[in-house]
Amino acid sequence: MFTKDNIRHVFFDLDNTLWDHRGNSEATLRQMFKDYQITEQYNLDFDAWHEVFYEKNEYLWAELREGHIQKQTLRDRRFAEPFKYFKIEDPTLSEKFDMNYLERMAKMKGEVAGAKDLLEYLSPYYTLHVITNGFEEVSQAKIDNAELSAYIETLTCADEIGLRKPDPRLFELAASKAGASKEESVIIGDDWIADVLGGTSFGWKAIFFDSLNDGNQLDGVPNVKKLEEIKQYL
């Protein structure tokens, strides 16, 4: 059974837990399609292309998390391969998309529904932190532009040590930066493997933000569909 006894530090995943990566990403790419006139030049429908991009990007991030590829490989492939799927092989176009995608997306302000309200609710009682597998060069900008930085005490990015959740060494770094013991800590995230299994294996408590209705269950780990439901546990 989950209890909040002794918890003093709450660690949040960033993308799709606090910051709406899926929504911000799609909006950014849709605008880039217009700016680069992709539909007009290549007769390519955005929604059809985005479906391929989304699947490819998710696959590459899983490969990165497992240590099968490096960060630069993900960046080299995530646009080149979806364009190639539609018979567009233009390295310059893919490189432009990759560079502008990160820059533009980091400026997006979309938070996951209820994120700021939850942080405001928790901040008087807990010290709040972010631990993310996202790229270091944009993670702080995401927090700032979504106006969440006032609530966050520390930010730990996988790029700092080249290791990603669920690797325990990233949790160790986050705990060290926060000055938090395992008994005092809980992680909240939407990734079952990286956040929940990674966090509990390290010795933290966990709350699974099951926004996509995956249905994964683990004894002692609450499963919530909306961020506001976390208030009943903390």
pLDDT at 17: 98
pLDDT at 154: 98
Going by pLDDT thresholds of 50, 70 and 90, the confidence category of residue 143 is very high
Contact assessment for residue 169 and residue 191, using Cβ atoms and an 8 Å cutoff: no
pLDDT at 179: 98
Domains of the chain are: 9-20+110-232 (3.40.50.1000), 22-105 (1.10.150.240)
Contact assessment for residue 17 and residue 112, using Cβ atoms and an 8 Å cutoff: yes
168-191, pLDDT tens digit by residue? 999 999 999 999 999 999 999 999
Read off the pTM. Answer: 0.94
In angstroms, the CA 136 to CA 146 distance is 16
pLDDT at 233: 98
91-102, pLDDT tens digit by residue? 999 999 999 999
47-78, pLDDT tens digit by residue? 999 999 999 999 999 999 999 999 999 999 99
Instruction: Return the HEC string of the chain.
Output: CCCCCCCCEEEECCECCCECHHHHHHHHHHHHHHHCCHHHHHCCCHHHHHHHHHHHHHHHHHHHHCCCCCHHHHHHHCCHHHHHHCCCCCHHHHHHHHHHHHHHHCCCCCECCCHHHHHHHHCCCCEEEEEECCCHHHHHHHHHHCCCHHHCCEEEEHHHCCCCCCCHHHHHHHHHHHCCCHHHEEEEECCHHHHHHHHHHHCCEEEEECCCCCCCCECCECEECCHHHHHHCC
pLDDT at 130: 98
56 closest CA partner among 35, 25, 30: 25
Region 38-46: mean pLDDT is 96
143 closest CA partner among 121, 120, 172, 115: 115
